[in-house]
Amino acid sequence: MTRPPTAAQRRVIDAADPVTGRLRGTESQLAALVKRELAFRHPRPPHDHFLTPAGHRIREEAATPAASSPEAAEPAQEPARESSGVFAARIGGEEGIDSGPSRIREVHSAWQGLLELRRMTNPHGVVDRPCAWERTHLVQAAALALEAAGHRPAGADTEGYRVRATPQPEAVAVRGPDAGALRECAATLEQAGWQVGEHTEPRTGARYLLASPRRI
């Protein structure tokens, strides 16, 4: 893509579902996004349009601080902050963890949306393994699977799971408060279609999980 999206196209991209990437717009707007490879039209009815990984990057760049700002200098493994009105799975370490009924409904809705995205974008409509969106949003995808299964994320001063990026391609690290919690997280991720192995930190001896989206 050589030219940035038009203002109208940006509005369509920015309004996409934050989890599934489903788009709403006029036929001409959607067709233009497909032509720019920022969206694709699903081959099965109702032939909805969804953001491609490139489209997701465009959407996320709008909410990312400029490189010169203090926020951009924070390490990549720091917890992502939530923008107002945009769902974000708890990766652990956030302040003010909300576990009330409204949060439970949000998480359930996001997980169901992700399963639908798997059905619509995975070959043969399978939902037992992660889809392309999850492979480009590893930390959020793993955290959503854990939170949707009822695991409690760590707060600023409370124990729970923590999901972080790793230098390894297509792998996230998951840490828990104890061995039992770690085993439960491993079982949840395996059920959600992730390959999981348990490892030991060389310096501290702490146990952690290394999880990758399963392909077959």
Give the list of residues 6+ apart from residue 18 with CB closer than 8 angstroms, or none: 86, 87, 88
What is the per-residue pLDDT across 108-118, written as a single tens digit (0 to 9) for each?
888 988 898 89
Region class of 6: left (phi > 0), else alpha (psi between -120 and 50), else beta: beta
**Residue 18 pLDDT greater than 60, yes or no:** yes
What is the per-residue pLDDT across 136-153, written as a single tens digit (0 to 9) for each?
999 999 999 999 999 999
| Range of lowest pLDDT (15-29, 40-54, 63-77, 127-141) | 63-77
| Secondary structure class of 20 (helix, strand, coil) | coil
What local confidence, expressed as pLDDT, does residue 43 receive?
66
What local confidence, expressed as pLDDT, does residue 211 receive?
97
* Pair of tokens at residue 6: 């038009």
Give percent of the chain with pLDDT exceeding 90.
39
Average pLDDT, the chain: 83
What local confidence, expressed as pLDDT, does residue 62 receive?
63
What local confidence, expressed as pLDDT, does residue 2 receive?
52
Pairing of strands 162-165, 172-175: antiparallel
**pTM for the model:** 0.65
pLDDT band at 69 (very low <50, low <70, confident <90, very high): very low
Considering Cα of 32, then 59, then 135, then 49, what sign does the dihedral take? negative
